[in-house]
């Protein structure tokens, strides 16, 4: 936000944003992992995460947010794409058709018996792409004079 002639004080907005950011962010993580059995998944999760970052952008400004989260969102998009395609392409190496997913049950130390599915990796790719693209759009338009 640009400095106006009259000095504004965004204390309440900035303080609330700091707390609400984490609530939205953790909710987006929850939505992301819930996707397999309940509504949710990579796309909504990604949008929620980027909306949390947008809240920070509104409360502070683009420069500050870039200092807090020094991420190149263009590379994030590319990483997400590569992760998604690599997950889909992995079965080629074991002689299965493209896009075959694998899953199994594991005994994890904290969670107990959990089913892990490679579709989650694909979803993580989608998540990264959605966050990357949304933030690229907002940053590019925001910085445009």
Least distance between other proteins and beta carbon 120 (Å): 15
Q: Cβ closer to other proteins: 15 or 99?
A: 99
Q: Cβ closer to other proteins: 47 or 85?
A: 85
Binding mask 50-89 toward other proteins (x if CB under 8 A, else -) reads: ------------------------xx-xx--xx--x---x
DSSP annotation string for 14-54: HHHHHHHHHHHHHHHHHHHHHTTTSS--HHHHHHHHHHHHH
- Distance in angstroms (rounded) separating the CA atoms of residues 31 and 137: 23
Phi, psi for residue 77 in degrees, rounded to 5: -60, -50
Size of the site for other proteins (CB under 8 A): 17
Q: What's the longest Cα–Cα distance across the chain?
A: 67
The residues in 96-115 that bind other proteins, with binding defined as CB under 8 A, are 96-101
Q: Cβ closer to other proteins: 51 or 139?
A: 139
The structure tokens listed for 75 are 């590379």
CA–centroid distance for 96 within its chain: 30
Least distance between other proteins and beta carbon 135 (Å): 15
Interface with other proteins (CB under 8 A): 74-75, 77-78, 81-82, 85, 89, 91-92, 95-101
């Amino acid at each position: 936000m640009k400095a106006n002639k009259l000095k504004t004080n965004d204390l309440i907005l900035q303080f609330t944003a700091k707390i609400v950011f984490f609530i939205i962010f953790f909710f987006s993580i929850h939505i992301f992992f819930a996707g397999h059995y309940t509504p949710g998944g990579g796309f909504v999760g990604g949008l929620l995460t980027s909306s949390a970052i947008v809240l920070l952008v509104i409360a502070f400004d683009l420069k500050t947010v870039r200092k807090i989260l020094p991420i190149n969102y263009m590379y994030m998009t590319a990483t997400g794409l590569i992760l998604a395609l690599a997950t889909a392409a992995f079965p080629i190496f074991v002689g299965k058709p493209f896009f075959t997913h694998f899953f199994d049950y594991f005994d994890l130390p904290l969670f107990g018996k959990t089913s892990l599915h490679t579709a989650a990796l694909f979803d993580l790719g989608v998540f990264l792409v959605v966050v990357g693209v949304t933030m690229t759009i907002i940053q590019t338009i925001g910085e445009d004079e």
